[in-house]
Amino acid sequence: MDLLERVQRRAMKMTRGLEHLSYEDRMRELGLFSLEKTRLQRHLTAAFQYLTGIYKKAGEGLFTRTWSDRTRGNGFKVKEGRFRSDIGKKFFTVRVVRHWNRLPREVVGAHSLEMSMSRLDGTLSNLV
């Protein structure tokens, strides 16, 4: 847990009327995501923008896309690259691919960024 997460947890403890609730329940009551889920939301949003061509030049070659109707969940899968060292595991594409491939079809198949964001919020809020 990083410093910012510890500060957020401490601030949540000072919220009046919610002292009896756990950290996760306080966040849910206030309609907030943890910092980890907020980071994941931003990464998945950026991945959507790369994959749909909003970031054309910057996103060239970031992901290997595969499309199949035979897979469960969403049919729009992306593949991770291969890296020789552990440093590769910290790259944006590697962090995002695992989560992207588990998203429901309605999130990854959205026609606009706004629609994808609202569906992603709903999906992530179920995980809180």
pLDDT at position 123, please? 84
Output the pLDDT for position 30: 81
Q: Domains of the chain: which residue ranges?
A: 1-32, 35-127
Provide the pLDDT for residue 54: 73
Q: Mean pLDDT over residues 16-20, rounded?
A: 85
Q: In a 3-state reduction of DSSP, which class is residue 21?
A: coil
For residue 117, the tally of other CB atoms under 10 A from its CB is: 16
Which of 52, 55, 44, 23 is closest to 93 using CA atoms?
Answer: 44
Tens-digit pLDDT profile for residues 84-106: 555 555 577 777 888 888 888 88
pTM: 0.66
Name the more confident of 82 and 15.
15
Per-residue model confidence as pLDDT tens digits over 34-78: 778 888 888 888 888 888 777 666 556 677 677 666 656 666 777
At 88 the pLDDT is 52
pLDDT at 127: 60
Within a 10 A sphere around the Cβ of 104, how many other Cβ atoms?
Answer: 13
